[in-house]
């Protein structure tokens, strides 16, 4: 994990998560990056603390680099389904508020991509990427 994390943060031109991050706690990057990265720590037993850091989720707006060839300007639910997965949840009322224009695409390996489509369901203004079912070590309160 440490090698991947260092390489990813270097490509983004961003610092590594804080080594003082405690197991069960989360650290979020600043929105000014274009991406909000949420990191967690799974323990304190490995030799390299960076191997204990996990990327919990990544959230971006339409200015962020897009995975899977997604097009934030022209994407539609049908085109996103072809690129991602037909195992979806949503949308609610496509004419409703932003929360009702969200579609979650459930992909292999527990991966999830959620898109919040613009009014009219053409283009999107937010993407959230996460992995479902990752083990977490929670500390008692």
Residues 49 and 74 in one domain: no
Based on the domain organization, do 17 and 43 belong to the same domain? yes
In this structure, are 34 and 78 located in the same domain?
A: no
* pLDDT above 90: percentage of residues in the chain: 19
pLDDT for the residue numbered 139: 45
Q: pLDDT tens digit string along 55-90? A: 887 777 777 678 888 999 999 999 999 999 998 988
Angle at 72 between CA 71 and CA 76, to 5 degrees: 75
Q: Which domain holds residue 102?
A: 67-130
pLDDT of residue 104: 94
Q: What is the pLDDT of residues 86-130, one digit of tens each?
A: 989 887 655 556 668 899 999 988 888 999 999 889 999 888 888
Q: What is the pLDDT of residue 140?
A: 44
Q: Give the span between the Cα atoms of 77 and 91, in whole angstroms.
A: 9
Q: What is the mean pLDDT of the segment spanning 31-36?
A: 70
User: Do 30 and 79 fall into the same domain?
Assistant: no
Residues 80 and 51 in one domain: no
Q: 101 preceded by cis ω (within 30°)?
A: no
- Whole-model pTM: value is 0.61
Instruction: Judge if 84 and 112 occupy the same domain.
Output: yes
User: Domain check: are 42 and 73 in the same one?
Assistant: no
Report if residue 6 sits inside a domain: yes
Looking at the structure of the chain, the number of domains it has is: 2
* DSSP at 102: E
């Amino acid at each position: 994990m440490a090698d991947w994390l260092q390489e990813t943060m270097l490509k983004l031109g961003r610092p590594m998560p804080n080594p003082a991050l405690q197991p069960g706690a989360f650290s979020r990057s600043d929105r000014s990056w274009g991406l909000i990265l949420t990191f967690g720590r799974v323990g304190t037993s490995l030799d390299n603390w960076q191997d204990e850091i996990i990327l919990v989720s990544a959230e971006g707006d339409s200015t962020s680099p897009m995975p899977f060839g997604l097009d934030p300007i022209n994407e539609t639910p049908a085109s996103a389904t072809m690129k991602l997965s037909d195992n979806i949840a949503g949308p609610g009322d496509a004419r409703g508020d932003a929360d009702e224009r969200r579609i979650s695409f459930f992909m292999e390996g527990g991966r999830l991509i959620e898109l919040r489509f613009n009014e009219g369901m053409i283009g999107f203004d937010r993407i959230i990427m996460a992995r479902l079912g990752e083990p977490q070590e929670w500390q008692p309160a």
